[in-house]
Amino acid sequence: MNRRALLTSLALAPVIAGCRRAAVAGPQPARLPPLKTITPGAFGTCVQLANLTDPGWLDLARTHVSQLTPEWEMKMEYILADGPDRLRLDRSDRIARFAADNGMALHGHTLIWYAQGQDVFSGLDNAAFDRAFDGYIATVAGRYRGKVRSWDVVNEPILDDGSGLRDCHWSRRYGQDGYIRRAFDQARIADPDAVLFLNEYNLEGVPAKGTQFLRLVERLLKSGCPLQGLGTQSHLWIDIPDGQIAAFMHELAQFGLPIHVSELDVSLRTDSPLDLRGLQERLSRQTARVAELAAAYMRLPAAQRFGFTTWGLRDTDSWYRRGDKDDGKDRPLPFDATGRPNPMAGALAAAFQR
Ligand code: 9MR
304 with 259: CB under 8 angstroms? yes
Tell me, letter by letter, the H, E, C secondary structure of 301-318.
CHHHEEEEEECCCEHHHC
Structural domains in the chain, sorted by start: 32-352 (3.20.20.80)
pLDDT of amino acid 30: 65
**In the predicted model, is pLDDT for residue 337 greater than 60?**
yes
Segments of 87-211 assigned E as strands: 105-113, 150-155, 195-200
Kindly state if the Cβ of 72 falls inside 6 Å of ligand 1. yes
Name the range with the highest mean pLDDT among 5-9, 24-28, 212-216.
212-216
Please state the pTM of the whole predicted model.
0.93
Close Cβ partners of 97 (under 8 Å, ≥ 6 residues apart): none
Ligand 1 centroid distance, CA of 268 (Å)? 18
- Cross-strand pairs, 150: 107, 195
| 201 Cβ below 6 A of ligand 1 | yes
CA of 134 to the centre of ligand 1 (A): 24
Give burial (CB, 10 Å; 0-12/13-18/19+) of 125.
exposed
pLDDT of residue 22: 38
DSSP state of 238: T
- pLDDT of 7: 37
Q: Which of 156, 200, 204, 281 is catalytic?
A: 156
187 pLDDT more than 70: yes
